[in-house]
Amino acid sequence: MTATESASATGAPPRTGLTFKQAVGNRRSIRFFRPYQPVEKAKVQKILEAARLQSQHGNAGLVRKAVVVYRDEADPDVFKGLVEALYNQPAAMQAPCHIYWTIDMSGWGALRDALLQLIDVGALTSSYGWSEQFIDDIVMKTPDFNVMAGERTFAEWLSAIEMGSAIGMALLAAVDEGLGTALLTGQRARMGELLGMPEGTTVAQIQLVGYPAESAEAGGQRPRPDFEDLYFEGRWGNPVHRDPKVVEELVAAGMIQPAAPLPHRKQEIRAMAAMFGLPE
């Protein structure tokens, strides 16, 4: 029996300290949380730390921000409004912690200083042509480098990519800490009002964090498109060859796991529905 299987059988949270491949393989969208078990703030900090360290265009890290809301510490009216803005999805009420990942367009204003800092620390080098003059004469005036110099649609598009990279790591960090996690969407403008966000900020995604009430496997890995339909080599339409030996290696490492639905998944869903008073 694996550590994850043992945890599911005993009701204990899955072990932490996973390898990267295990964290990727174990990640599920958890939709049933233990509402009675709070999330340790140290674990939430680790999630935020992982997101903070991710690659970002021009090192402009002030673009992606977040508001952490703990259900049992929040103003009851504010939390009720947030759940309503999340369309009253049951998981939103169950999860003891919400992270409202937010794009702050004003963060691009620090791009020049961030690039100069990268030169100072040796991340951008003169051997590649980087200098203060290059930043002022080329980078800050070229939309492909400075998104605020171009059309707003491009700035929003790149900002979403930057936020996505941070959220992806936040999900894996939550799994690595033995937590359940999932992303929700909802009425973003309403959430911004409730959380006092300034103009120019937009809630991107809402990450629920808590201990899963359902099994950590949550019915198995979700369906995904075929590998060859996603990735091309040399030119569009020429599929990358998927080596079966690599697949076997990733299965052994825990990244590729049994596909949904696992046996007894329907029974588990019925049990969760009964536990939370939800329709089957």
- The CA distance from 207 to 222, in Å, is 18
In single-letter form, the type of residue at position 123 comes to: A
- The CA distance from 56 to 162, in Å, is 6
- The CA distance from 137 to 126, in Å, is 15
The pair phi, psi for residue 66, each rounded to 5°, is -155, 150
Residue 73 tokens, joined: 């510490």
Element (H, E) at 180: strand 180-184
Query: Could you report the per-residue pLDDT of 148-203, keeping only the tens digit for each?
Result: 898 888 889 999 999 999 999 999 999 999 999 999 999 999 999 999 999 999 99
Q: Say which CATH superfamily domain 21-217 falls into.
A: NADH Oxidase (3.40.109.10)
Q: Dihedral (C-alpha) 124, 130, 135, 137: value to the nearest 10 degrees?
A: -170
Range scoring the smallest mean pLDDT among 143-147, 243-247, 274-278: 143-147
Residue of 49, 58, 51, 55 lying closest to 155 (CA atoms): 58
Query: Could you report the per-residue pLDDT of 89-132, keeping only the tens digit for each?
Result: 999 999 999 999 999 999 999 999 999 999 999 999 999 999 99
Domain ranges in the chain?
21-217, 219-264
Contacts of 163 (CB under 8 A, 6+ apart): 63, 64, 101, 103, 204, 205
Per cent of the chain over pLDDT 70 is 94
